[in-house]
Each structure stands twice: as structure tokens, then as C-alpha cells.
């Protein structure tokens, strides 16, 4: 997946920023009742910070995990529900934006109408598949399928989208990438351990049950599911691993359309590009980035190898899978049974209002975001957040200037990049125009389909145009944040700028331990193992001296080795190469927050509070930002696909490297939270 895709797919990793908006929560940033003071902080700091929280916060049945962020997401979702229920009322005139989000939500909530339709909304797409006359017709079908290829991986056969040119960050180019799988990652098809084999069997059984819901006999459905698995396994073998994709140069292969046609001649690319609307060969689509050439070679081999009948089976499965959550209850429940229960361990399907609220946020996020921001996010919150970012950036500047292992030429370039970072807080400066998107009350699957195509075409319309650096990759209500290395900007949606992640009534120490660590985390991404390969303008360029790059890699490897020794569940270890960027950001970000806090309060006489010194309060707040309960199934899933370490190690792994923590809690050499060979980059 490309850089923006990678960033958007991340699990929640950030703390929040200051907010003075109206919010229902009054929880403090540091909750002493959440601690377990019977635990020695020098032995297990996560248990010390979160032990009581973990005991009194069981995982809700509709959740795969439960955390500080999960609770805030639920609060935000309830607030969005209120907005949507008001917007869905038809008594009186409604603005266009209100009409769209209200009618979308009302259509999604109308279960009787959806049940009455049953399979009917899917039939036109299935009829189109049945009518395919040759494998040359695959391109036209994929280009015009009911739901377009996913922008973020998966989808039918491959992913097609636009992206900033890695070597010219001012321009947008087309991009073709691997995809075509129904399981979360290539490794699910290829790993030979007992659990992976068990999950593959469960997946095949799920696919068969979906074919049965389409009306196929059990024996035929079982055969069809085997066909799907065979084709997807072959496609998976051609895909890059997630670790391989952490090296940006490996994701950049600029080709002409003619070269792509030679790479995969059995797929009618001219037809595909014409039908998607990006133009015929050479005009206007002259070149594109083929992210994973090997995948397209394998895809071509499979097109030639598999029969048209088997490709039709594959297409029927993906058409059904893509539409499942918008169909009748039988499809929704079967989809949840595998993806929610088997893969993630959830016990119950989330209530419909939660699912519909998420759908509106996904498909009309900036329309819904306008109402959310107006009600829950103040100008004061935006300014306060920006102030803290600047303070942490000042700490980063001081650290770069003082680094003993980095030479002057590299420091100069690092400071140029630091000063060029744009800080985007709360919401976009201008809102997305959904005027061309038709939302029809009572047409649930049609609304979903049209919204998918609206977003797909919006991305394709960028090709050949200058980059819009004001655009956001997350919706305003999102409880998350991200750094974009190609735009060189930090993005904090309004949804994460809410209590209890920050409180204006709190003392500074926990605000910096929680909020400041997030700011530092995002900032450090600009200089982690991936972000450090892009320059101040967002171009893929090596701005390091060879000696400094080697020094950086040695320090990053220290972190890889440390985290690779931690166990997630059973005998599954953290993949330290996969999590390295996030681990570096956690470590660097917490240090920057600590330094910024010390500078901010250097003239103040800080006193202990709640039996904790100011330094201890800083670190406990950091630890409590990661308080989490998680189901075993979800731990296994994250071990394969998530570039973040488990929350316990995001806490203990960081503080074990920090002499500042050691001093705060008077830890002694040899204790678990004191690493003999501590890692430090920044």
C-alpha cells in the first residue's frame, strides 16, 4: 500500500491534545484510581499505571478491545448519533449537507426495508458476472463493478488510485498496487502454523456459507469456496510483505501504460482505464507508479491459468463480500461471524446505530464533520493544540542540534525539514463538496455504492494535477492522528482533541505525559525509519550522509532487537521490523514531551500530588494513555497486520530506555524497567 494508505490504515496510536469543547466526559488525565500501587513500577510499569483500570473495564461484547481511546470513540459515536438522528428528521427545511447525512443514516437504519429487498440489490452485479463471455471482459467488469476497487488495499484483483509522486511531491500520479484478497494479509494464506491453517479452514467455510446465501447448494458452495481460496492464495504469493513495504524505494516503479501492458498482457488495461474514466493508452494517463510489479506478473499468470468459470466464481465472492454489510440480516450476520467473531473475537454484532454512524463517517465524513466541529470543537481548542505542538517542535530542534552522532550537514537538512512541517488541527480549512453525490432516502445499498464511486472518482480526478496540501486523510470526528511524510504535515482531527485525553484543569505533568507524548510521536515519524527517507518537501530523497545514516540504522536496530524479544500471545513475538517506525516514534516522542514539559515548567515550583512527584505524574499519565483490554483473537490479528506494538510494550518498552524514568521511580540496575543497554535515537 502507498504512504497515505499506510498511514490511514494504522490502528489508533496517539494521545490527544487540549480541548475546551463541550464534551460529556469529566475524567481526569491522570486517574489515580486506575493505578495498582501494589505493583512495583520498576518491575512492570504498565501494571502499576493501569492495573485497576484493566480490572474494572471489561471488554464490551461488541468490541475486540477496550481502551481509553475505545471509550472516547464510543462517546464520540454517541454524539454523532444525536447529530444524525436530528438530521434524519424531515419536518422542516434542511440544508443540503444535513439532508445527505440524515437521509444516508435513515436509509441505513431502515432494517425492514433492507430485509424486504433481500438479495435483490446484488442481482444486477451477479448477472453481469454471469454474462462475461471471455477473460478479456474481466477488465471492463472490474472497472465498472458495483463497488469500485478499494483505495486502501483488498478489492477485486488489485488496487488502483492516485498518489503524490514519490520523486515530485508537487504532482499527483496514478498508482496500481496489489490487492484481491479476502483475508487481512498475504501471511494468512502462506503461514504453515496450526492456527493459520485453522483460520484458513474457517475462511473457506465462511465463503461457502455466503455462496449458500446466494442460493447455491452446499456441495456447489464448498467447491466454489475452494476455488476462491486457490486463486487468492496464488495472488497472495505475489504480494510484498508488510515489512518489505516499509522501504519506500521498493514501492516506486514508474512505468508507461505500454510497459504495464507488457508486464500483464492478459488484462485489458486500455479498457480498464477507459472505463474508469482516466483515459485511454497514453492520454491523459501517460505514466503511473506500479507499486508491486511482481504482483501483476503473478496476477497475469493466474488470469491465463484459471478458467473463465473459476474467475466468475472469484468475482461473485468479492461482489457479495463487498456488499455484505448493506444487505439483509443473514449476510450481515455471516459476515460478522467470520470477520468480527473468528478473526477479532467479538461476541456480539455492534448495534445497528453504531454501524450506520460509522458508515456515514466513512462515506460522508466531512459533511458529518461540519456538524460535529460546530457543536464539539472550539477555536480555543484548536489554538491550544497548536501551542503544544510548537513547544514539542522546539524540543526537537534542541535535540537535533545537540545530537552527538549526527554530523552538521545532516543536522542542517533535518532542521530544514522540521521547520517545514505543517500542523493541521481539528478540521480542514475548506470542506469537501458532496454536491455531485446523490443520497436517496430508502436506498441503502445504492447510497453506499454511489458514495464508494464518488470517493473513487474523486481520487482519480487528482491524476495529473498539483497536490492539494490542505486535504485531510481522516475525518474530523476520528479519534486518531497521523503524520504524512509526502506532505510533511501532522494531522490531529477534532475527535481526538477531547477529554479525558487532555484536561485544562489538570496540572501540566500529565498533560505533557499524555498530550505531549502524542505530539512528539507524530513529530518523530518525520525522522523514523521510513519518514527519514523523505525530505522537507516530501520527496523521496536521501538527505543523510552515509556515516549518519549508518549511525541512525544502528540505533534503530537496537529498538528492533528490543521489541522482537517481547511476546504478544503464546509463542508469537512482536515483529520488530514491522513495528520499528511506531516504536521509534513512541520512544522519541515521550522523550521530546518530557523535555518540553521541563522547559515549560522550569521556573515553577512543582509539588507532589496524589502521592506522586511531578515526574512520576508525567510517566503515569503516559502509561495510562495505553490502558487496554484486548481479546486473544485480536492480538493474533494485530501481530500480523499492525505496525504498532501491544499497549503494554508501548509503555514498558519506552520507559525501560529512559534514565529520566529510572530517576523518577528510583529504579535500580537489573530491574525489568531498567535496560542495561538502553536504546536512544533522538
CATH of the domain at 636: 3.40.390.10
670 inside domain: no
Compute CA 321 distance to the chain's CA centroid, rounded to the nearest angstrom.
Answer: 21
293 part of a folded domain: yes
Check whether residue 362 and residue 502 sit in a common domain: no
Flag the least confident range among 15-24, 199-208, 468-477, 651-660.
Answer: 15-24
At 366, list the grid cell.
466531512
Average pLDDT over residues 315-320: 97
Pick the range with the lowest mean pLDDT from 379-393, 443-457, 551-565, 592-606. Answer: 379-393
Give yes or no: residues 512 and 624 share one domain. Answer: yes
Set 224, 522, 528, 551: catalytic member = 522
Give 27's pLDDT tier (boundaries 50, 70, 90).
low
Q: In this predicted model, what pLDDT tens digit does every residue of 620-650 receive, in sequence order?
A: 999 999 999 999 999 999 999 999 999 999 9
- Do 488 and 539 form a contact (C-beta atoms < 8 A)? no
Spatial distance between the Cα atoms of 445 and 452, rounded to a whole number of angstroms:
11
Is residue 479 located within the same domain as residue 611?
yes
Residues 6+ apart with CB under 8 A from 672: 42, 43, 44, 652, 656
Residues 521 and 461 in one domain: no
44 and 618 in contact (C-beta within 8 Å)?
Answer: no
pLDDT score for 615: 98
- Position 384 confidence tier, pLDDT thresholds 50, 70, 90: confident
Statement to judge: residues 260 and 362 lie in one domain: no
Q: What is the pLDDT of residues 597-625, one digit of tens each?
A: 999 999 999 999 999 999 999 999 999 99
* Inside any domain, residue 54: no
Mean pLDDT of 7-29: 40
Q: Among 8-12, 317-321, 641-645, whose mean pLDDT is lowest? A: 8-12
Residue 253 has pLDDT above 80, yes or no: yes
Note the helical H segments in 150-292: 187-190, 194-213, 218-237, 257-263, 269-276
Residue 533 has pLDDT above 50, yes or no: yes
Predicted confidence (pLDDT) per residue in 152-189, tens digit? 666 789 999 999 999 999 999 999 999 999 999 999 99
All three cell numbers of 412: 542542517
pLDDT digits (tens, 9 = 90+) for 358-368: 999 999 999 99
- Residue 508: inside a domain, yes or no? yes
Told to judge if 610 belongs to the known catalytic residues of this protein, a careful annotator would answer no
- What is the pLDDT confidence band of residue 8, given thresholds at 50, 70 and 90? very low
Q: In terms of domains, do 320 and 362 share one?
A: no
The Cα–Cα gap between 523 and 400 comes to 12
Reading across the β-sheet that carries 287-290, which strands appear in turn? 158-165, 168-178, 287-290, 254-256
Q: Say which range, 90-94, 109-113, 565-569, 590-594, has the weakest mean pLDDT.
A: 90-94
Whether the predicted pLDDT of 282 surpasses 50: no
Q: In this structure, are 102 and 147 located in the same domain?
A: no
Does one domain contain both 72 and 176?
Answer: no
Number of separate domains in the chain:
3
Domain check: are 531 and 544 in the same one?
A: yes
Whether 143 is in a domain gets the answer yes
Examine the domain organization and report whether 72 and 140 are in the same domain. no
Note down the domain range covering 457.
59-118+351-376+433-469
Mean pLDDT score, 301-314: 98
* Statement to judge: residues 394 and 262 lie in one domain: no
pTM of the predicted model, to two decimals?
A: 0.93
Residue 226 lies in a domain: yes
Q: What is the pLDDT of residues 192-215, one digit of tens each?
A: 999 999 999 999 999 999 999 999
List, as own/partner pairs, every contact residues 23-27 make where C-beta atoms lie below 8 angstroms and the sequence separation is at least 24, other chains included: 23/75, 23/376, 23/498, 23/499, 24/75, 24/79, 25/72, 25/75, 25/498, 25/499, 25/500, 26/499, 26/500, 27/499, 27/500
538 with 619, same domain?
yes
Confidence of residue 15 (pLDDT cuts 50, 70, 90): very low
> Which one of 73, 366, 586, 633 is the catalytic residue?
586
| pLDDT for the residue 279 | 62
522 as an active site residue: the answer is yes
Domain assignment present for 22 = yes
Least confident span in 404-413, 428-437, 508-517, 609-618: 508-517
Looking at the domain assignment, is residue 248 inside a domain? Answer: yes
CATH code: domain of residue 269: 1.10.1380.10
Closest CA to 195 of 564, 567, 569: 569
pLDDT tier at 381, thresholds 50, 70, 90: confident
Amino acid at each position: 500500500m502507498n504512504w497515505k494508505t499506510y498511514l490511514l490504515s494504522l490502528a489508533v496510536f496517539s494521545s490527544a491534545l487540549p480541548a475546551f469543547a463541550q464534551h460529556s466526559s469529566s475524567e481526569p488525565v491522570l486517574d489515580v484510581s486506575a493505578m495498582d500501587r501494589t505493583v512495583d513500577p520498576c518491575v512492570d510499569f504498565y501494571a502499576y499505571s493501569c492495573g485497576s483500570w484493566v480490572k474494572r473495564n471489561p471488554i464490551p461484547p461488541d468490541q475486540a478491545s477496550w481502551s481509553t481511546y475505545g471509550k472516547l470513540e464510543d462517546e464520540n459515536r454517541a454524539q454523532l448519533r444525536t447529530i444524525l438522528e436530528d438530521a434524519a428528521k424531515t419536518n422542516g427545511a434542511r440544508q443540503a449537507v444535513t439532508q445527505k447525512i440524515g437521509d444516508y443514516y435513515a436509509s441505513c437504519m431502515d432494517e425492514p426495508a433492507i430485509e424486504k429487498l433481500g438479495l435483490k440489490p446484488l442481482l444486477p452485479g451477479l448477472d453481469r458476472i454471469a454474462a462475461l463471455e471471455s477473460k478479456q471482459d474481466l477488465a471492463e467488469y472490474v472497472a465498472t463493478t458495483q463497488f469500485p476497487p478499494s483505495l486502501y488495499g483488498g478489492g477485486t484483483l488489485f488496487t488502483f488510485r492516485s498518489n503524490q509522486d514519490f520523486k515530485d511531491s508537487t504532482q499527483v500520479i496514478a498508482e496500481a498496487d496489489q490487492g484481491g484478497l479476502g483475508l487481512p494479509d498475504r501471511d494468512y494464506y502462506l503461514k504453515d502454523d496450526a492456527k493459520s491453517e485453522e483460520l484458513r479452514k474457517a475462511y473457506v467455510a465462511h465463503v461457502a456459507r455466503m455462496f449458500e446465501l446466494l442460493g447455491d447448494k452446499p456441495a456447489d458452495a464448498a467447491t466454489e469456496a475452494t476455488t476462491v481460496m486457490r486463486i487468492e492464495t496464488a495472488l497472495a504469493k505475489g504480494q510484498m510483505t508488510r515489512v518489505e513495504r516499509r522501504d519506500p524505494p521498493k514501492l516506486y516503479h514508474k512505468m508507461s501504460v505500454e510497459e504495464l501492458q507488457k508486464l500483464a498482457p492478459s488484462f485489458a488495461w486500455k479498457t480498464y482505464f477507459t472505463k474508469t474514466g482516466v483515459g485511454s493508452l497514453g492520454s491523459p494517463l501517460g505514466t503511473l507508479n506500479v507499486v508491486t510489479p511482481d504482483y501483476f506478473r503473478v496476477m497475469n499468470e493466474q488470469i491465463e491459468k484459471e478458467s473463465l468459470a473459476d474467475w466468475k466464481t472469484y468475482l461473485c465472492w468479492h461482489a457479495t463480500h463487498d456488499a455484505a454489510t448493506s444487505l439483509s440480516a443473514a449476510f450481515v450476520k455471516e459476515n460478522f461471524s467470520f470477520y468480527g467473531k473468528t478473526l477479532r473475537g467479538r461476541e456480539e454484532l455492534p448495534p445497528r446505530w453504531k454501524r450506520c454512524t460509522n458508515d456515514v463517517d466513512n462515506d460522508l465524513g466531512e459533511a458529518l464533520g461540519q456538524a460535529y466541529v460546530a457543536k464539539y470543537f472550539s477555536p480555543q481548542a484548536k489554538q491550544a493544540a497548536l501551542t503544544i505542538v510548537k513547544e514539542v517542535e522546539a524540543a526537537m530542534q534542541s535535540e537535533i542540534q545537540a545530537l552527538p552522532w549526527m554530523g552538521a550537514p545532516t543536522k542542517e537538512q533535518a532542521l530544514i525539514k522540521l521547520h517545514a512541517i505543517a500542523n493541521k488541527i481539528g478540521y480542514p480549512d475548506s470542506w469537501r463538496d458532496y454536491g455531485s453525490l446523490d443520497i436517496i432516502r430508502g436506498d441503502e445499498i445504492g447510497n453506499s455504492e454511489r458514495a464508494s464511486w464518488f470517493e473513487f472518482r474523486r481520487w482519480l480526478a487528482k491524476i495529473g494535477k498539483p497536490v492539494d496540501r490542505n486535504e485531510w486523510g481522516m475525518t474530523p470526528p476520528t479519534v486518531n492522528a497521523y503524520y504524512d511524510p509526502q506532505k510533511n504535515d501532522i494531522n490531529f482531527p477534532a475527535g481526538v482533541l477531547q477529554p479525558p485525553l487532555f484536561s485544562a484543569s489538570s496540572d501540566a505533568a500529565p498533560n505533557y505525559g499524555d498530550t505531549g507524548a502524542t505530539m512528539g510521536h507524530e513529530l518523530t515519524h518525520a525522522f523514523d525509519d521510513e519518514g527519514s527517507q523523505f525530505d522537507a518537501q516530501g520527496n523521496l530523497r536521501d538527505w543523510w550522509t552515509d556515516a549518519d545514516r549508518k549511525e541512525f540504522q544502528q540505533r534503530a536496530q537496537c529498538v528492533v532487537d528490543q521489541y522482537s524479544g517481547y511476546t504478544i500471545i503464546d509463542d508469537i513475538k512482536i515483529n520488530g521490523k514491522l513495528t520499528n517506525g511506531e516504536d521509534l516514534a513512541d520512544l522519541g516522542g515521550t522523550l521530546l514531551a518530557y523535555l518540553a514539559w521541563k522547559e515549560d515548567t522550569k521556573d515553577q515550583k512543582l509539588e507532589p500530588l496524589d502521592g506522586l512527584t511531578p515526574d512520576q505524574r508525567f510517566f503515569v499519565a503516559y502509561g495510562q494513555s495505553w490502558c487496554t483490554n484486548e481479546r486473544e483473537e485480536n492480538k493474533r490479528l494485530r501481530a500480523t497486520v499492525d505496525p504498532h506494538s501491544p499497549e503494554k510494550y508501548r509503555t514498558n518498552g519506552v520507559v525501560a530506555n529512559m534514565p529520566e524514568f529510572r530517576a523518577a521511580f528510583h529504579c535500580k540496575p537489573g530491574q525489568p524497567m531498567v535496560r542495561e543497554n538502553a536504546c536512544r535515537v533522538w
